[in-house]
Every structure is written in C-alpha cells, then in structure tokens.
Amino acid sequence: MENNARSSFTGKIGFVLAAAGSAVGLGNIWRFPYLAAKYGGGIFLLVYIILALTFGFALMTAETALGRKTGLSAIGAFNSLNKKYGFIGYLASVVPMIILPYYCVIGGWVTKYLYAFLSGGAAEAATDTYFGTFITQPVEPIFWFLIYLIATAVVVLLGVEKGVEKVSKIMMPILVCLSIVIAIYSLFMPGAIDGLIYYIKPDFSKFSITTVLAAMGQLFYSMSLAMGIMITYGSYMKKEVNLESSVKQIELFDTGIAFFAGLMIIPAVFVFSGGTPEALGKGPSLMFETLPKVFETMPAGTIVGTAFFMLVLFAALTSSISLMETVVSIVCDRFKLNRKLSCLVVLILSLVLGIPSALGYGVWGGVKIIGMSFLDFFDFLSNSVLMPIVAFLTCIFVGYILKPKAVIEEVERSATFKRKKLFQVIIKYVAPVCILLILISSVLEAFGILKI
Ligand code: PHE
C-alpha cells in the first residue's frame, strides 16, 4: 500500500476518504452504541463529543502533522525526529497487532449475519437465543473468523486499495443514508421515545470517571488514533492540502456515523427489552441482538437487513485492511521479508491470537484474564492501557520535546491554523494530565484496587 497510497492521495478527498475508511468501522456501528447504552446514554454522548472536539482534534492533528512533516510512518517518524523517542513508534505499532485478531473475530460475526440474511434466516436471527447460541459454539465462530480474516488478507495482498477507495466513495455515502433511514424507522416504533431521551439527554447523576474512561478509549479506537495509522496516512498527504480542515472532516464523519448508529440501536433496545439496566448493559452482543429484531418488524426488513450487514461488513473491511496493512508493513520492514511472506506470517499470527477471542464465549468461556473474557481483555489492553500510554507519550513528545511549534508550522504550510491556541493548551497541559489520570484509574479498577 505504501507506494500506491503515496501516489494516490492526490488531493484532500483522497486523504479524507482513506482516513475515514480506516476510522469508520465496527467501532462506530458496533462498539459506540453498546458503550453509550452501558455508560449512561446522554452523558456518554456529551462526554464523547467534548473529547472528540478537544483531545481527538489535537491528537489527530499532531499525528497527521508528524507523518506529513517526516514523510514516514510511525517508527520512522519518531526515530527521525528524535532517536531517543523512537520507542514510541514501536509501542504504537504493537496496538494494531493486538486489535487485528479480535477485530476479525467480530468481522466474522458480521459475515455470519450477512449470510443468515442472504439465506433466508432473517427471522431466526431475530430470535432471542440466536446470537448466544452462535458465539458459544466451538466451530462456527472460528469458521466465520477465518473467512473474514482471509478476505482481509487477500485484499492486503493484492494491494487493491485503489479499488477499495473507489468502492468506498460509493459505499460510504450509502451507509450514511441507510443508517439515517433505519434510525428514523427505529425512532418511530412505539416506545422508542424513551430510548431517544436516554440517548440524547445527559443525566449528570450518571457521570463517573468510568464514563470518561470509556469515552476516551472509544475515541482513540474509533478515530484510529494512538497506533501510528494517522502518522502513516499523514505521510501520504501533500503539503498544500489543508490539514486542519481535513482533520475536521474526518472527525465529523466518524462521529456522525457513530451518532446515527446509536440512534438506530438504543431506542430499539427500549422497544424490545425496555430500558432495564440488563438490556442496556448487554455489551458486545447489543447490535447483533437488537437490529435483527428491528428488521423483522420493518416492511422489506430482510432486504434492508441484508443491505445493512453488507455495508457494515464493508466498513469493517476497510478498517481491518488498514490494520493488517500496518502490521504487514512493519513485519516487512522489521524482518526484511517480502510482502507475500509477511502477509502469511500476519495471517497465521492473527489466527492464533484470534482463536481465544472466538472461543471466549463458549468452549473457553471459563477462562478469564483479570475477570474478562479473551475478547474483552484484548479490547481492554489495547483501548484502555496501550492507547492511552501511546497518546500520553505522543503529547509529551509533541508538547515538550519537539515543541508544538513544529506541528503548528506543518499545519500552517497549507493554511492558517485556526484552533492553534486550543491545540497548544490541550497537547501540553490538558491531555497529558487527563490521560494519565484515566490510565491509572482504569488499571487500578481492572485489578479491583479501585472501585469507580
Ligand atoms: N477505527 C476503526 C473502527 O472504528 C477501528 C480501527 C482501529 C481501524 C485502529 C484501524 C485501526 O472500527
């Protein structure tokens, strides 16, 4: 992808689309709604939006500028700017290796649902036990995981990102439209209004440090931050492209899709299972259990459902491709292997690392790591531990070692930096302090030392 992509980002659209393709994925459609439902609805949404406009904006700008300034991806970028801080690049590179396997397990679930809808199983998919039965089986989750993983690897191997980009241009707008249509439909179901209120009206009594923690982890994940991806994409960006407004567009797109996903799912949870804490705190299964029920009641629901899972699959694929591409290029460079071999190595590694996540709700359901299933643990390790560490180090590096001026100069190569002051304050003071506090509390909580 390196060479192809470097030449293909001819203008702003190229960069924005590629970055948005990586950013918009399961994080928006699957992860955001279940976190919002679990962590207090409106208050989570509010915290998330505030964080996106401040932390998200500052970090994405910093990462993109580091990439564009050096013309290198994460490891090279940090190394070339300051040898002593090259380790941040390595640390950032570990994150996609942890996310990729379990991301593909969930991608496998989506593939299974698409297959079910295509093969006349829509009604069955809407039953209460369908999802639970599926993920507890010993073979099926692995089978679909493997299919999804291979599909991702094939695209990475063929390097058809030009094709992917072209398809993105068509698929992404359809995804947006379809999400809006389904969201509106959901909202008109009797009883949905309570869900809407829960989702958009902040209830400050539900605020806690876990809300911020979850929102921040989600922000990094959803915007593909703190793992070197935006640095790489920034390195493909031309100097005359307006960096600040590109970042703004990506944020808007990413947050917009997440918002609509919440509108599709949360009111529907209220319709089908009431707003009970159990229903809202369901976690990873939320999208898979609620949406098929919505489709079941919809006129032409099977067609809408099929289209929906097809688009989600596509959004997920563009993200997992960017994850695998990053890992493959690291393996290529680090071990001096050719692309084919690197791809194979990454495929096998992901398979081995993903199997525990695929079986973690069934056969290996009894195995828990600090009280979590494998998938939850990998999700926690990447989102709540490693990404905050990388984000913290990036802020320190940009704020105090490299100095914000370097980033500001890079942004101002193309246009005036409108939110310059905000950027400086966040990257130097607000972000490092908050991230550190959040990191410490999340780790203490996971080990049961702190109760929040
Ligand atoms: N941002 C993607 C999503 O929301 C996930 C992802 C994370 C993709 C990291 C690439 C890198 O689904």
Q: Please check whether residue 346 is in contact with residue 324, taking contact to mean a CB–CB distance below 8 angstroms.
A: yes
For 8: left if phi > 0, alpha if psi spans -120 to 50, otherwise beta; the answer is: alpha
pLDDT for residue 28: 95
Ligand 1 centre and the CA of 318: distance in Å?
9
Range 45-62 average pLDDT: 96
pLDDT tens digits, 411-445: 999 899 999 999 999 999 999 998 998 888 878 87
- CA-to-CA distance for 9 and 141, rounded, in angstroms? 37
Q: Phi first, then psi: give them for residue 223, nearest 5 degrees.
A: -95, 10
Q: How far is the CA of 363 from the centre of ligand 1 (A)?
A: 28
**Residue 160 confidence (pLDDT):** 53
CA dist., res. 274 & res. 277, Å (int): 9
Tens of pLDDT along 119-156?
A: 999 999 999 999 999 999 999 999 999 999 999 999 88
Question: 20 CB under 6 A from ligand 1?
Answer: no
Q: What is the pLDDT of residue 263?
A: 95
Q: Of how many residues is the chain composed?
A: 452
Q: Which atom of ligand 1 is nearest to the CA of 319?
A: 8
- Token pair belonging to 130: 């369908």
Hey, what amino acid is at 98?
A: I
For residues 60 and 237, give the distance between their C-alpha atoms in angstroms, rounded to a whole number. Answer: 14
Number of H helices, E strands in the chain: 25, 0
Confidence of residue 82 (pLDDT cuts 50, 70, 90): very high
Residues 51-57, mean pLDDT to the nearest whole number: 94
315/261 Cα distance (integer angstroms): 13
For residues 146 and 351, give the distance between their C-alpha atoms in angstroms, rounded to a whole number: 7
Ligand 1 pocket residue status of 22, Cβ below 6 Å: yes
Helices (H), 360-430: 374-380, 387-396, 404-411, 420-425
- 224 CA from centroid of ligand 1 (Å): 5
| Confidence band, pLDDT 50/70/90 cuts, at residue 7 | very low
Q: Is the pLDDT of residue 10 over 70?
A: no
**Residue nearest to ligand 1 atom 11, measured at CA:** 224
What pLDDT, on the 0 to 100 scale, is given for residue 3?
Answer: 43
What confidence tens digit (pLDDT) does each residue in 368-398 have? 888 889 998 999 899 888 999 999 999 999 9
Query: What CA–CA distance (Å, rounded) separates 35 from 343?
Result: 33
Q: Is 26 in the pocket of ligand 1 (CB under 6 A)?
A: yes
97 lines ligand 1 (CB under 6 A): no
User: Does ligand 1 have an atom closer than 6 angstroms to the CB of 307?
Assistant: no
More confident site: 9 or 3: 9
List the one residue out of 15, 287, 328, 305 whose CA is nearest residue 157. Answer: 328
- pLDDT of 449 strictly over 90: no
Cα(380) to ligand 1 centroid in Å equals 14
Q: Residues 90-99: what's their mean pLDDT? A: 94
Domain residue ranges in the chain: 12-446
Which is nearest to 182 in space by CA: 48, 309, 289, 40? 309
Return the pLDDT at 254: 94
Report pLDDT digits (tens) over 258-285.
999 999 999 999 999 888 988 898 888 8
Q: Is the CB of 141 under 6 A from ligand 1?
A: no
- Give the integer Cα–Cα distance in Å for 346 and 360: 21
**Digit-coded pLDDT (tens) for 310-346:** 989 989 998 998 899 888 888 887 888 888 999 999 9
* Ligand 1 centroid to residue 123 C-alpha, Å: 30
Of 54-58, 166-170, 296-300, 404-408, the one with minimum mean pLDDT is 166-170
- Please work out whether the CB of residue 104 comes within 6 Å of at least one atom of ligand 1: no
Residues 6+ apart with CB under 8 A from 7: none
Residue 203, beta-bridge partner list: none
Q: What fold is seen in the domain 12-446? A: Hydantoin permease (1.10.4160)
- Residue 323, ligand 1, Cβ within 6 A: yes
The DSSP call for residue 138 is S
Type of residue numbered 356: P
The string of pLDDT tens digits covering residues 178-209 is: 889 999 999 999 999 999 999 999 999 999 88
How many Å lie between the centroid of ligand 1 and the Cα of residue 190?
34
* Cβ-proximal residues to 283 (8 Å cutoff; 6+ apart), any chain: 34, 38
d(CA 79, CA 85): 6
Tokens of 9: 């980002």
> Ligand 1, residues 233, 313, 323: which to mutate, most atoms within 8 A of Cβ?
323
Tell me the mean pLDDT in the region 10-14.
69
Between residues 282 and 64, the one the model is more confident about: 64
Confidence of residue 42 (pLDDT cuts 50, 70, 90): very high
